[in-house]
Chains A and B, each alone.
Chain A
Amino acid sequence: MPSYPVHQLDQPILDVRHLTVRYGESIALEDITFHLHAGERIAVVGPNGAGKSTLFKVIAGVIRPTAGEVRIYGSHPSHHVCIGYVPQRSQVEWRFPVTVEDVVMMGRVARIGLLRRPGREDRQRVRQALETVGLAEMADRPIQALSGGQQQRMFIARALAQEAELLLMDEPLNGLDIPSQEGILALLDTLREQGVTLMVATHDLDQAARFFDRVMLLNRRLIGFGAPSDVFSQERLQRAYGGRLKIVQSENEQIALGDTCCQEPSFYEPF
Chain B
Amino acid sequence: MNLSELLLSPFAYPFMFRALLAALIVSTVCAVIGSYVVLRGMAFFGDALAHTLLPGVALGYLLSGANREALFWWALGTSILASLGIGALTYSARLREDTAIGIVFAGMFALGIALISTVRSYAVDLSHFLFGDVLGVSEAALWRMAIFGGVVLLLVFLLYKEFLVISFDPVLAATLRLPTRHLENLFLILIAISVVVALQTVGVALMVAMLITPATTAYLLTHRLPAMMGLATIFAIFSSLIGLYLSYYLGIASGAAIVLVSTLLFAIVFLLRRNER
* A interface with B by C-beta (< 8 Å): 57, 60-62, 78-81, 83-85, 87, 92-93, 96-99, 102-103, 105-107, 109-110, 112, 114-115, 118, 142, 144, 158, 162
B224 pairs with A60, CB closer than 8 A: no
Given contacts A57-B171, A60-B171, A62-B171, contact A109 B224 (CB under 8 A): no
Q: In the complex the two chains form, is A106's CB within 8 Å of B39's CB?
A: no
B222 interfacial by beta-carbon distance below 8 Å: yes
Is B120's CB within 8 Å of the partner chain A?
no
Q: A133 vs B54: C-alpha distance in the bound complex, in angstroms?
A: 53
Judge whether B162 and A99 touch: CB under 8 Å: no
User: Is A106 touching B174 in the complex (CB atoms < 8 A)?
Assistant: no
Cβ-defined contact, A106 with B169, below 8 A: yes
Q: 23 A-B pairs, CB-CB below 8 angstroms?
A: A57-B171, A61-B175, A62-B174, A78-B177, A81-B177, A84-B175, A87-B171, A96-B39, A96-B167, A96-B168, A97-B222, A98-B225, A99-B224, A102-B224, A106-B172, A109-B161, A109-B162, A109-B178, A112-B161, A115-B159, A142-B224, A144-B223, A158-B172
Given contacts A112-B161, A114-B162, contact A103 B177 (CB under 8 A): no
Q: Which residues of B contact A118 (CB under 8 A)?
A: 161
Whether A106 touches B165, Cβ cut-off 8 Å, given contacts A60-B175, A97-B228, is yes
Nearest CB of A to B154, in Å: 11
Q: Are A106 and B158 in contact (CB under 8 A)?
A: no
**Which of A61, A78, A98 has the most chain B CB within a 10 Å cutoff?**
A98
How many residues on the B side are at the interface (Cβ–Cβ under 8 A)?
Answer: 24
Report how far A83 CA is from B172 CA in the complex, Å.
Answer: 10
Asked if residues A60 and B168 are in contact (CB atoms below 8 Å), the reply is: no
Q: What's the nearest-Cβ distance from chain B to residue A210, in Å?
A: 29
Return the contact of A98 from the options B159, B168, B219 (Cβ within 8 A): B168
Give me the interface of B with A, judged by CB distance under 8 Å. Answer: 39, 158-159, 161-162, 164-165, 167-169, 171-172, 174-178, 219, 222-225, 227-228
Nearest-CB distance from B238 to chain A (Å)? 21
Contact yes or no, B158 A110, CB < 8 A: no
Q: How far is the CB of B33 from chain A (nearest CB, A)?
A: 16
* Pairwise interchain contact B223-A99, C-beta atoms closer than 8 A: yes
| Cα-based distance from A93 to B219 in the complex (angstroms) | 14
Across-interface contacts of A62 in B (CB, < 8 A): 171, 174-175
Q: Is the CB of B175 within 8 A of A97?
A: no
Give the chain A neighbours of B167 by CB distance below 8 A.
Answer: 96
Contact partners of B176 in chain A: CB under 8 A? 81, 107, 109-110, 162
Say yes or no: B168 contacts A85, CB within 8 Å: no
Minimum C-beta distance from B30 to chain A (A): 18
Interface centre among B164, B169, B178 (most CB of A within 10 A): B169
Assess whether B164 is in contact with A98, with CB atoms less than 8 Å apart.
yes
A105 to B175 CA separation, bound complex (whole angstroms): 15
CB atoms of B175 and A81 under 8 A apart: yes
**Set of chain A residues within 8 Å of B224, measured between Cβ atoms:** 97-99, 102, 142
- Which residues of chain A have C-beta atoms less than 8 A from B168's C-beta? 93, 96, 98, 103, 106
